[in-house]
Amino acid sequence: MSKPWSVSTNQFINEQESIMRTGNVYQIANGYMGYRGTLDEFGPEQLVGITLAGIFDRVGDAWREPVNAPNGAFTQVSLDGVDISALSTRIKHHEQRLNLSNAIFERETTFSSRGKTLTIKSSRFLSANTPNLGVIRFSLTCNTAAAITIHTGIDSNIWDLNGPHLLKLTPEKHGGVLLVHGVTNEASKRVVVVEAIKCDFGKEVHSATGKKHLRVIGTNIEAGRTYTFYKYFAVFTDHDPVRKSAKKAAIETVEHAKAHGYEACLNIHNAEWEKKWKRCDVKIEGDDKAQHALRYSIFQLLMVAPVNGSANSIPARALSGQVYKGAIFWDTEMFMFPFFLHSYPEKAVELLRYRIKTLDGARRKAQSEGVGYRGAFYAWESQETGDDACTYFNVGDPFTGRELRTHFRDKQVHISGDVAIAMWEYFRVTGDDSLLLEGGAEVILECARFYYSYAYFKKDKNRYEILDVIGPDEYHERINNNAFTNMVVKATFEIAIATVKHLKQKHPAELRALVRKIGIENELSFFAEAVNLLYIPEPDRKTGIIEQFDAYFKLKEAKIEELKARKLHPDEYLGAGQGLAVPTKVIKQADVVMMLNLFKERYPAKVKRANWEYYEPRSEHGSSLSACAYAMLAADIGKLDWAYRYFLQTAKIDLEAKYKVFVGTIFMGGSHPAANGGAWMTAVFGFGGLKVNVDHVALNPRLPKRWKCLEFSIVYKCDRFDLKITNAEVTIIAAASNRSERRFIVAGKEAYCTPGNSNQLKLHRGKRTG
Amino acid sequence: MSKPWSVSTNQFINEQESIMRTGNVYQIANGYMGYRGTLDEFGPEQLVGITLAGIFDRVGDAWREPVNAPNGAFTQVSLDGVDISALSTRIKHHEQRLNLSNAIFERETTFSSRGKTLTIKSSRFLSANTPNLGVIRFSLTCNTAAAITIHTGIDSNIWDLNGPHLLKLTPEKHGGVLLVHGVTNEASKRVVVVEAIKCDFGKEVHSATGKKHLRVIGTNIEAGRTYTFYKYFAVFTDHDPVRKSAKKAAIETVEHAKAHGYEACLNIHNAEWEKKWKRCDVKIEGDDKAQHALRYSIFQLLMVAPVNGSANSIPARALSGQVYKGAIFWDTEMFMFPFFLHSYPEKAVELLRYRIKTLDGARRKAQSEGVGYRGAFYAWESQETGDDACTYFNVGDPFTGRELRTHFRDKQVHISGDVAIAMWEYFRVTGDDSLLLEGGAEVILECARFYYSYAYFKKDKNRYEILDVIGPDEYHERINNNAFTNMVVKATFEIAIATVKHLKQKHPAELRALVRKIGIENELSFFAEAVNLLYIPEPDRKTGIIEQFDAYFKLKEAKIEELKARKLHPDEYLGAGQGLAVPTKVIKQADVVMMLNLFKERYPAKVKRANWEYYEPRSEHGSSLSACAYAMLAADIGKLDWAYRYFLQTAKIDLEAKYKVFVGTIFMGGSHPAANGGAWMTAVFGFGGLKVNVDHVALNPRLPKRWKCLEFSIVYKCDRFDLKITNAEVTIIAAASNRSERRFIVAGKEAYCTPGNSNQLKLHRGKRTG
């Protein structure tokens, strides 16, 4: 497997948990919707999910979550009157495959039923060109003549965690097109699914029984002959920017696709994927395992990148279902955004536009939390309006069956700074300030304003402090002066000041208008004071260790395994004020280490090393965001074995799908795009040693032993560079279309890369500079 | 029962819980030690407890608690070889009585055993004159001739909650005196108990078996004749200020008492009690029930007032046992202290000396909590050193069997201000500044310094705030700007400023020495700023309601009964971060109402009324401190029916002993001296309307309907006044020994009371001024 471009299996295990995990691993998506890796004949019990991006709904008091659409890809075959299904029919052979090069899911299953052997083969893709469209090729072959009935159409039996979300589900038929429409429970937003097929055999009748709106195609098939039909389905909602009705748009979409035909649709789709990979692939020579896991990680991110112009973002579980309410967390800015920023900036733009779009929600949250704050306090769990979907009580207590109060929503204030940092990073790396003018500057100033409104001044210490927060380590709630949070706050003030400075120079009229609009003039001077007087926990003079928060060092030492052994119930949570980890130094995930990653140029290596070594054995990695932070910092400080170990952990998370899928009775399965982004960051920032600076790109590579070569591309100030790193040298190829010469510094050596030319720089082994 | 001067019962109920409650109700004490109301023949299983004031010990990891002494009052009789005991012998008649006039416990029990009738009668008192001494008269009478054996001496089987505290218990015999000595587990402090008897009948031998060090007196008694002996026991510890050894002092004490004889000891004891009552009794005419309960309450306080010169204070459960670790809480300053201050100031002095003595402990706590503070942060549960006996985990979780983290110790910061306020009150009411010079001023300044070190400044609101505290309502932990706490902090700054001002005028050298000693010169100016800029939650302009803490109004409404009905286990605690009350407006006890009581002159009646009415239905009264706060404020605002109802609740708590005695498996029984003090405050401050002001004493009486007359005495600036209040008039009798004319303002009418004279002032009904 020298070019690992697929995931495949020859097994079908008919167990709920296996079906669920396989559904995650083999999912496909196109930014508009996800389709879990389930088989054609499956239903809601097998967690068939077509999860839509950016449309949410709530039923009663249950969690608000994304809407799953009716399944326009449903097909069920019966052979001589007997239903054929992987769930009930004897399987002689099964193979399924996810092609990473173009996100096509294929299955081929040979069934044995009453002495006959039937092979079903299907390919499925969600068009990378037409966001609303799904396309399927379905064929069957029997070893003998047989009577076949195909039920295919739209299955409105929908898997929901907290549904049903679609009311008034109504089947319609428009010529040869099947259509189901319904409206969301909460806001009566229309969701339409249509389906058309191209089938050259059999006789079709229609059937709408229960929630299935189907065609029933009967035919007698010949022995050994393959019968193939093509299926097109489209999903539209009131959120789609179409001029006509959703219904009309949906019908036109499938009719258009059908008219073009399967191959034409596939070709356009493949061309899009080819472009994606050309820009975003990271090649590792000499380590197929790492290559496979990393490529799968990048693949996940490419699949779920928002549709251009949608101003959507990527939820913590991407489009793999409704887990975590389909909400956007800090995961996006801190873990996924860098990948897009450096290799696919037009998607990075959408992620940021999402935060601009939800700025009013963040303002509402700031006003309504606690005593009320000014500025923008972004939602911890953000949906389409930016109002917080995070509940105050959101961890189940297995002892009482009650929900425990956590402070994720009201105290995890670093989220606003995470957004501001990403907004500024976009400008810093691309040089494009249009987004600042589009609302990005407003976001940044409102985030800084929120922090100023949240901060307290300690007069006798002459410093500002950030009190009563949760840092990345969620086991310790309501703590003061979290090193991570305080640094994020400081950076936010710096960024706000830099934003004002930039606009003053380049866009003074826009700055004046903005300052007037949000009435912030009197507050700007405080930001400068706050930058100077904000307390930042310093590395201990002797040990170099930074205290994670005030009085963290006073907590008890505890071994993670011993702590877990004290659990009285497997599902008991270690935090939430009374959990076993709370009085101890055991932390849920990278916190100081995450901070040192984010601000790595501000700290010397020995501080980073001291903290990595101190916090690593105290980290439970109870979050999928943790491993990559330890991986990246380990690479930065030259702990390559550790870096590699944590890199594989983060890169393989979705490929292996060994994560915990139930917390208590709550289903938590799905993909981990933040870990996927962490895998990319570890490869590129960690091993590649990439760091984009004000006036140059720095590269300080340090590859894992077995890696012979690492190749990736970056976009820097709208110019594109292909980078090839070996242990001996770095090659930089500047695209011919680049506009300017750009400066690189590779392990201390300077290179000016002019459009269309390549530079080759020898590496002195072991040398590494900032 | 027109003069209710006793508590008595004709019942003996042989059940553990009844024995325990009766032991509380019938306890006696003399400030040095308490003796629970158990019978002569009882042992540790019946919770016989001789709890010593001011000496503490810890065994292993268990709670540190006061030391109980071996029982030098033990006597067990056997009749014709059969042990006679209320626990096992048939009782024909039983009566026990506690005399409130002199704290004598008497029992008379007539037993029936094998056809013979034996009456045992005993009286017991702990000398009010000689703190270490207990005296017993014991007699027996049989209806027939019989062989009697009396086992009397020292029973070293000690009831302990977390013992055993006394090691190396060694019996000795010195002439006719029995002696047991041992040392505390933790610090090898010596505890000695000696016993001597005066017995004119029988033949005595000695027996030291098990832990009983006894005399065995055998005799054949005649029918109908009463045999009486006298018993003297003394307890001494290394804490006693004796020049000779504890042993010697103890032996001398009992020998001296024995030489004097029972009647002489009793007479001196009675004379002391007569003085106490003359100064401290509160007479209610027309309401025997209230009179009895109030007198019992005062009696409790008089019994447990610290021995002069001891610098001890009164624990939350007084000397009734080891509950609450024998620790001193804010209960003392806020609930008990006013009684002593106004009627028995030499005892008030001891309570304050205790806080001076433990100032270093408070300094240690300030330095060690959280990030470390300056000044004095008094212990939430204070023992002899002032180090905090309160644990961070101190509420049992019935679901897991674990201890829950509470923040009583680290966040109930109002304790320091409570101490400072009491310290200043003493000076304000007595005019005696000697205590300020003795260390009181240092206490005050260090408390203010602690608050300054704890406070944060909110620049954009230009105010200081007090963050992250627990107010009196312990169900809501880690809250900001608690109205009670902030007012206490403000008062502390005011008092610190006033203290400096007073010393500057009267004792400038001492002030200079103090400022130098504690290095506080640079901080003093901040106190003035803090007074002006400290945020105090204001009454709402429309409703007049003061928000208990930041965002309290956002909490959910809940009915207390419905909340309790949601309990899954009877012992589950409603607070501790995850309890049922936490997300609701249900509060454990008076909080804003307590504040309005403490600072009642600062708020108009309509604000007090609005808050009383708002918070009363939301108060669970889960603390015995709550009822009196509601009672006092109700009296203040003229809600006399409510005031009376809550007054009876608080006054009867120990007399009826209906309180909860077990929380989970933890024994919580014992007396409630804070509620006793609350009963006195309600009578005198509430109904009497007494308020001592800078230059006069104000009286604004409003008696409950059935009260014809309320009489009490006060000491004001070292002068003594007897006050008699009816609905029609107030009579003020100034003692002949008074030194000055003093100004009184009675319902707005001024009176100058000169030594030896009485003033009579008519009341206009319904009129009431500040």
Residue A6 lies in a domain: no
pLDDT at site A664: 61
Residue A155 lies in a domain: yes
Same domain, A389 and A459: yes
User: What's the gap in Å between the CA of B54 and the closest CA on chain A?
Assistant: 31
Same domain, B107 and B234: yes
Nearby residues of B207 by Cβ (< 8 Å), 6 or more positions away:
B151, B214, B215, B216
CB contact under 8 A, B405 and A467: no
Collect the ranges in chain B with pLDDT lower than 70: 1-3, 663-665, 765-770
Find the length of chain A. 770
Cα–Cα distance, B643 to B632 (Å, whole number)? 6
Cα–Cα distance, A617 to A636 (Å, whole number)? 18
Q: Does B576 touch chain A (CB under 8 A)?
A: yes
ipTM above 0.85, yes or no: yes
Boundary (domain end) residue, out of A250, A278, A306? A278
- Decide: residue B257, CB within 10 A, 0-12 exposed, 13-18 middle, 19+ buried: buried
Does B164 sit behind a cis peptide bond, omega within 30 degrees of 0 on the bond before it? Answer: yes
> What is the separation of C-alpha B4 from the centre of its chain, rounded to a whole number of angstroms?
22
Q: Which of residues 310-339 of B touch A (CB under 8 A)?
A: none
Same domain, B172 and B90: yes
pLDDT of A1 > 80? The answer is: no
B550, B576, B578 member nearest A371 (Cβ)? B550
Residues paired with residue A125 on neighbouring β-strands, in sequence order: A135
Q: List chain B residues with CB under 8 Å of A400.
A: 399, 568
pLDDT at site A661: 77
pLDDT of A180 > 50? The answer is: yes
pTM to 2 decimals? 0.95
The first and second tokens of residue A284, run together, are: 């590792």
- Nearest-CA residue of chain B relative to A465? B456
CB contact under 8 A, A457 and B457: yes
Contact by Cβ (8 Å): A191, A235: yes
pLDDT at site B2: 40
Nearby residues of A185 by Cβ (< 8 Å), 6 or more positions away:
A57, A58, A59, A164, A165, A166, A167
For residue B716, the domain's CATH number is 2.60.420.10
The first and second tokens of residue B479, run together, are: 């809250």
Q: List chain B residues with CB under 8 Å of A467.
A: 456, 467-468
Same domain, A244 and A321: no
Which among A374, A394, A399, A450 is the top mutation candidate for probing chain B, defined by the most B β-carbons within 10 Å of its own β-carbon? A399
Q: Is B330 annotated as a binding residue?
A: yes
Q: List chain A residues with CB under 8 Å of B528.
A: none
Q: Which amino acid is present at A523?
A: E
Same domain, A384 and A261: no
| CA proximity to A626, closest of A582, A675, A672 | A675
Q: Does B568 touch chain A (CB under 8 A)?
A: yes
For residue B60, the domain's CATH number is 2.70.98.40
Q: How does strand B697-699 pair with strand B690-692? A: antiparallel
pLDDT at site A209: 87
Same domain, B591 and B719: no
Q: List chain B residues with CB under 8 Å of A576.
A: 578
Q: Does B451 touch chain A (CB under 8 A)?
A: no
Residue B1 lies in a domain: no
Buried b (16+ CB within 10 A) or exposed e, B205-216: eeebeebbbbbb
Q: What mean pLDDT comes out for the span A225-247?
A: 93
Q: What mean pLDDT comes out for the span A510-523?
A: 96
Cα–Cα distance, A332 to A673 (Å, whole number)? 8
Q: What mean pLDDT comes out for the span A622-637?
A: 96
% pLDDT > 70, chain A:
98
DSSP annotation string for B222-278 = PBT-EEEEEEEEEEEETTS--SS-HHHHHHHHHHHHHHH-HHHHHHHHHHHHHHHHH
Q: List chain B residues with CB under 8 Å of A551.
A: 370-371
Q: What is the DSSP letter of A369?
A: S
Dihedral (CA of B326, B331, B333, B335) sign: negative
CB contact under 8 A, B467 and A467: yes
pLDDT at site B767: 46
Cα–Cα distance, B238 to B24 (Å, whole number)? 27
Cα–Cα distance, B207 to B225 (Å, whole number)? 27
Cα–Cα distance, B168 to B154 (Å, whole number)? 15
Q: List chain B residues with CB under 8 Å of A578.
A: 397, 404-405, 576-578
Residues paired with residue A675 on neighbouring β-strands, in sequence order: none
Buried b (16+ CB within 10 A) or exposed e, A156-182: bbbbbbbbbbbeebebeeeeebbbbbb
Boundary (domain end) residue, out of A655, A687, A719? A687
User: What's the gap in Å between the CA of A423 and the closest CA on chain B?
Assistant: 26
pLDDT at site A668: 82
Q: What is the DSSP letter of B670?
A: S
SS3 A55: strand
B371, B399, B457 member nearest A550 (Cβ)? B371
Residue A622 lies in a domain: yes
Residue B351 lies in a domain: yes
Residues paired with residue B767 on neighbouring β-strands, in sequence order: none
Q: Which of residues 367-396 of A touch B (CB under 8 A)?
A: 370-371, 392-393
Q: Examine the residue annotation and report whether B474 is marked as an active-site residue of this protein.
A: yes
The first and second tokens of residue A54, run together, are: 């950016």
CB contact under 8 A, B582 and A465: no
Q: List chain B residues with CB under 8 Å of A393.
A: 583
Cα–Cα distance, B75 to B227 (Å, whole number)? 14
User: Average per-residue pLDDT in chain A?
Assistant: 96
- Which residue reads 């530079």 in tokens? A759
- Which residue reads 């553990």 in tokens? B16
Other Cβ atoms closer than 10 A to A525:
9
> What is the separation of C-alpha B108 from the centre of its chain, rounded to a whole number of angstroms?
29
pLDDT of A678 > 80? The answer is: yes
Same domain, A272 and A288: no
The first and second tokens of residue A585, run together, are: 């130094």
Q: Does B553 touch chain A (CB under 8 A)?
A: no
Buried b (16+ CB within 10 A) or exposed e, A298-311: bbbbbbbbbbeebb
Q: Does B424 touch chain A (CB under 8 A)?
A: no
Q: Which amino acid is present at B454?
A: Y
pLDDT at site A3: 59
User: What's the gap in Å between the CA of B459 and the closest CA on chain A?
Assistant: 7
Q: What is the DSSP letter of B332?
A: I
Rg (alpha carbons) of chain B, rounded to whole number: 27
Contact by Cβ (8 Å): A236, A195: no
User: What's the gap in Å between the CA of A577 and the closest CA on chain B?
Assistant: 7
Buried b (16+ CB within 10 A) or exposed e, B425-448: bbbbbbeebebbeebbbbbbbbbb
Which one is catalytic: B465, B474, B494, B620?
B474
pLDDT of A10 > 90? The answer is: yes
Same domain, B586 and B637: yes
CB contact under 8 A, A400 and B568: yes
Residue A767 lies in a domain: no
- Which residue reads 């001592």 in tokens? B692
Q: What mean pLDDT comes out for the span A51-58?
A: 97
Residues paired with residue A194 on neighbouring β-strands, in sequence order: A179, A234
Between vectors from CA A461 to CA A455 and to CA A464, what angle results, nearest 5°? 15
pLDDT at site B765: 61
Q: pLDDT per residue over B137-162, tens digit each?
A: 999 999 999 999 999 999 999 999 99
Residue B768 lies in a domain: no
Q: Does B223 touch chain A (CB under 8 A)?
A: no
| Helical packing angle, A605-615 and A626-636, nearest 10° | 140
A399, A453, A459 member nearest B460 (Cβ)? A453
Q: pLDDT per residue over B462-512, tens digit each?
A: 999 999 999 999 999 999 999 999 999 999 999 999 999 999 999 999 999
Question: Which parts of B479-563 are beta strand (E)?
Answer: none
User: What's the gap in Å between the CA of A673 and the closest CA on chain B?
Assistant: 33
CB contact under 8 A, A459 and B526: yes
User: What's the gap in Å between the CA of A404 and the closest CA on chain B?
Assistant: 6
DSSP annotation string for A186-234 = TT--EEEEEEEEEE-SSEEEEEEETTEEEEEEEEEEPBT-EEEEEEEEE
CB contact under 8 A, A568 and B400: yes
Residues paired with residue A716 on neighbouring β-strands, in sequence order: A719
Same domain, A315 and A206: no
Structural domain range at position B608: 281-687
Nearby residues of A95 by Cβ (< 8 Å), 6 or more positions away:
A8, A9, A10, A107, A108, A109
Contact by Cβ (8 Å): A183, A192: no
CB contact under 8 A, A370 and B551: yes
Q: List chain A residues with CB under 8 Å of B576.
A: 578
Boundary (domain end) residue, out of A653, A687, A721? A687
Q: What mean pLDDT comes out for the span A421-426?
A: 98
A370, A526, A568 member nearest B550 (Cβ)? A370
User: What's the gap in Å between the CA of B350 and the closest CA on chain A?
Assistant: 35
Which one is catalytic: A474, A494, A523, A620?
A474
pLDDT of A769 > 80? The answer is: no
Same domain, A270 and A311: no
Contact by Cβ (8 Å): A469, A413: yes
The first and second tokens of residue B547, run together, are: 């928000």
Cα torsion B12, B270, B733, B295 to 10°: value is -10
Contact by Cβ (8 Å): A514, A441: yes
3-state secondary structure A83-94: EECCCCCEEEEE
Q: Which of residues 491-530 of A touch B (CB under 8 A)?
A: 526
pLDDT of A723 > 80? The answer is: yes
List the binding residues of A: 330-331, 588-589
Cα torsion A337, A341, A344, A348 to 10°: value is 60
Same domain, B607 and B705: no
In Å, the largest CA–CA distance within chain A is 91
3-state secondary structure A608-642: HHHHHHHHHHHECCCCCCHHHHHHHHHHHCCCHHH
pLDDT at site B243: 77
A365 — pLDDT class (breaks 50, 70, 90): very high
Q: Does A460 touch chain B (CB under 8 A)?
A: yes
Q: Does B405 touch chain A (CB under 8 A)?
A: yes
Q: What mean pLDDT comes out for the span A533-541?
A: 98
Q: What mean pLDDT comes out for the span A195-202?
A: 97
CB contact under 8 A, B578 and A467: no
Q: List chain A residues with CB under 8 Å of B459.
A: 457, 526
Same domain, A321 and A416: yes
Q: Which of residues 463-492 of A touch B (CB under 8 A)?
A: 465, 467-468, 478, 480
Residue B253 lies in a domain: yes
List the binding residues of A for substrate: 330-331, 588-589
- Decide: residue B186, CB within 10 A, 0-12 exposed, 13-18 middle, 19+ buried: middle
Q: Does B567 touch chain A (CB under 8 A)?
A: no
Between vectors from CA B326 to CA B323 and to CA B331, what angle results, nearest 5°? 95
Residues paired with residue B172 on neighbouring β-strands, in sequence order: B179
The total number of structural domains that make up chain A: 3
Contact by Cβ (8 Å): A356, A447: no
A400, A478, A578 member nearest B404 (Cβ)? A578
For residue B479, the domain's CATH number is 1.50.10.10
